[in-house]
A and B are shown apart, each in its own frame.
Chain A
């Protein structure tokens, strides 16, 4: 049963990226989409907070943390939504997920988490992957420019 929910999670996140691409193809403004997404999610979390019955009590030190990381999330999604207009949705989505390597590095630095061999391999693969994707995009851009020049 638990595994079924893992696959449902994969479907939901995969469809999220696909719906973002479809919305982009229908000429939705990237900023308006992100505002709508975050607006609905704010409402849902607000409702969840009160339905849990614990009320809206937050220690003061949590507020700047939530504001800072919330801003990071919105900027990231805005960048993703803008990027799929000029690049591939697959690459954008992969970057969104590869970014989980950044907090892993920060955790090793701040919380002195162990740098395991699996993590070292993952970081190396991630770096090579980013280099390949950047290089691949450069080739795509060069070919598109060449094609445009030939047409002109």
Chain B
């Protein structure tokens, strides 16, 4: 099950941002970004929301509040990166710091607060993955 979930994440998450690149390639105005993202989020809401309702899973107060905090953090991250890019910081600095930094924070929290123990292979995997993400950020943006 875990392996399947990791494969799904690998194949879907990266591609989810590819649409903005396609739009940029079509030469459409930058103002299209917000209506595009509205449809983008609404489609995501529907694909998980409809099966959830059919299964009878309730959207409780707890989920609404935690989800709101998660949405706020996601938007805050995007806004912070946009402001950094607008402040003339090059993309090959912004993306490795923001993305690499977030992995570092999660790894630290995993060990300190969530009691996650890593075996040697996990540790090598996380370290090499961290390097790979930084190199991808440096080379691609």
Binding site for B on A (CB under 8 A): 1-3, 5-23, 25-26, 28-29, 31-42, 44-46, 48-49, 52, 54, 56-59, 61-63, 65-80, 82-83, 86-104, 106-107, 111, 116, 118-119, 121-123, 125-126, 128-137, 139-141
Contacts and interface: CB of A to CB of B under 8 A. Distances in A.
A136 B70 contact: no
A100 B140 contact: yes
B103 A140 contact: no
A125 B124 CA distance: 11
Nearest to B141: A100
Residue in A44, A70, A136 with the greatest tally of chain B CB atoms within 10 Å: A70
Contacts of B139: 104, 116, 118-119, 122
Contacts of A118: 135, 138-139
Interface string B7-38: 01111111111110111011010011011111
A106 B25 CA distance: 14
Contacts, number: 435
Residues of A contacting B: mostly: helix
Interface string B111-140: 001101011111011111111110111111
A94 B103 contact: yes
B77 A79 contact: no
Contacts of B14: 99-104
B84 A32 contact: no
Contacts of A23: 62-63, 66, 70
A87 B1 CA distance: 10
Nearest to A131: B125
Contacts of B135: 118-119, 121-122, 125
A136 B119 contact: yes
Residue in B22, B26, B28, B47 with the greatest tally of chain A CB atoms within 10 Å: B47
Nearest to A50: B34
A19 B139 CA distance: 30
B39 A70 contact: yes
A76 B10 CA distance: 8
B57 A58 contact: no
Contacts of A92: 5-6, 9
